Amino acid sequence: MRIELNGSPKDLDGSPTVADLVRQLGLERAACAVEVNARLVRKSEHPTHALREGDRVEVVTLVGGG
Amino acid sequence: MTANAVDAMSAACPAIPPIRIGGFTLRSRLVVGTGKYRDYPTMQAAIEASGADCVTVAVRRERLVDAQGRSILDFLPLDRLTILPNTAGCFTAEDAVRVSRLGREILEQLGNPGAGWVKLEVLGDRTTLLPDPVGTLEACKELVKDGFTVLCYSSDDPIIAARLRDAGAASVMPAGSPIGSGRGVANPSAIRLVIERLKLAEQGGSADYPVIVDAGVGTASDIVHAMELGADGVLLNTGIAHAQDPVRMAHAMRLALDAGWHTARAGRIPRKLYANASSPWEGVISHIPGE
């Protein structure tokens, strides 16, 4: 299955959830937030939100800014 | 002056009260950005020197290729700072609302009170970074409906400032001059009009409505100027981060805010075209021309 992750194509095995993706990226303990198709997926929904072919996923964090 | 004399003067001078923005209370009226520093330790030291208890941060894509990269959060004492997430880089109301929700999600996970608010920026273009007033108003309404305490970056136009306030913005933050320009308060009359429109009862304002001058600060005197015009606080980033000595500049900015606060309330003398001697004429022994 292919999704778009932070603007780049990414191939995933099986039918992972958002929680699976976050774990695969090694970000399960990082301060980050996930959007799928421009909609926020709250952390409590990560384990149940299944990703689908073609999903546009954004994983964001906090950076310095003004 | 001796240390005792300084203490005595401080005791006689009323303390600067905290600033209230919606349900938030900040001890310092200086809010600082966290961008553009040469490194995180310098940022951390500059924040400390500024005395700020609120810092603004941006929301960006996680750098998935650089998992070893240190996080800014390791250099922000989250137990002492309220984080103010911003929507910098957004050019539409829709994107600003998305970014606000993402920022809230992260700060909720961190247990930081900053989860409840956002510094809203909807920009018009990349070269001026001036706000898009229509997009800002639209996003402000949406975010207020979603329960956010919204601090709106705005132009120095009093009409849009009042519209944002009426849409539920907890604070309107007019730009002194464009972001990062270091030109200070470019149009003091406009900033004064914004402040009067938002704060004077006869103009439908309220004295306790917080107005924070955001952007354009290049040096400490710019902060004094903004505070003299009646601002409740100042938000800046580049003026500290890109100074040759950011920590020392942060210290100066802190002092400037205090100076501006007090001078705005001490009642300055009127400007006059001609001189007014400070020493008495009586008893002068010299010849005075024309007399």
Q: Which of A6, A40, A65 sits opposite B34 (nearest CB)?
A: A65
| Beta-carbon pairs below 8 A across chains A and B | 102
What 3-state class would DSSP assign to B128? coil
* B9 shares contact with chain A (CB less than 8 Å): no
Question: pLDDT (tens digit, 9 = 90+) per residue, A8-37?
Answer: 999 999 989 999 999 999 998 889 999 999
CA dihedral A12, A13, A15, A19 (to 10 degrees): -60
Quick one: B95 exposed, middle or buried, by C-beta within 10 A (0-12, 13-18, 19+)?
Answer: middle
How far is A28 from chain B, CA to nearest CA, in Å? 12
- To the nearest whole number, what is the mean pLDDT of chain A? 95
The predicted complex's ipTM stands at 0.95
d(CA B58, CA B198): 27
CB-based contact (8 Å) between B115 and chain A? no
Active site residue B119: yes
Which parts of chain B fold into alpha helices (H)? 3-12, 40-50, 93-110, 133-145, 158-166, 188-199, 220-228, 238-241, 246-266
For residue B10, the model assigns a pLDDT of 64
pTM: predicted TM-score of the whole model, two decimal places: 0.91
Question: What value does the mean pLDDT take over residues B52-76?
Answer: 86
Confidence class of residue B13 from pLDDT cuts 50, 70 and 90? Answer: confident
Residue position matching structure tokens 């401080």: B10
**Does the pLDDT at position B63 exceed 90?**
no
